[in-house]
Structure 1
């Protein structure tokens, strides 16, 4: 799979073009080798948009190990908020990702941060 990504990227595929979320897909799938490759080829670690909102939100899908990879190896902004004011903590709580929630709290994310609906992470966890 990695060789295919290399070929496509080397053909000058724009990894940050509006609507292109290859990095988010790699992170949501837990493919750190492909994520590393995409980042090394210019994929933006703090890109916004897409169905998962951002790479940091996508990383919550697979848990703390992928989050740690993105934050500690690639300096991703874990305080980023999406268009509804949700942080990665909101997303992890909504998905029921216990390890992601613990990791994000250890990083100091605000447990009381409210999104545009006035919901904090606990509201998302209770759904």
Structure 2
């Protein structure tokens, strides 16, 4: 399933440093690769990164075949700017460090990594990509 795995493979045997540069796009969808294209996170009040298991859906669209669990599984790893486990290193660069002790508790498998930003009353998911943890 490597073709689905845009963030690569992460080992459970050590720490995982998640680093990602975020850039804005032009109207035609191309990324602005100039320094002006880096997303400025100064107005962001909260940034949250979650890593959740990627189980299959049943026919009803809910997880594990249970209709009352449509909200999906709980995150196995979380980093937030509120507790400083996730930091804005510089303009456009987000970084989170998951220590080896946290990684060793995660089961091997395919996970969804999501980054959610809050600016004022608005909250938006700006990244949702798979990662394989071995």
> Which has more radius of gyration?
2
Which protein, 1 or 2, shows the higher relative CO under an 8 Å CA cutoff with sep ≥ 6?
2
Q: Report the TM-score when normalising by structure 2.
A: 0.20
Please identify which structure carries the higher strand content.
Answer: 2
Please identify which structure carries the higher helix content.
Answer: 1
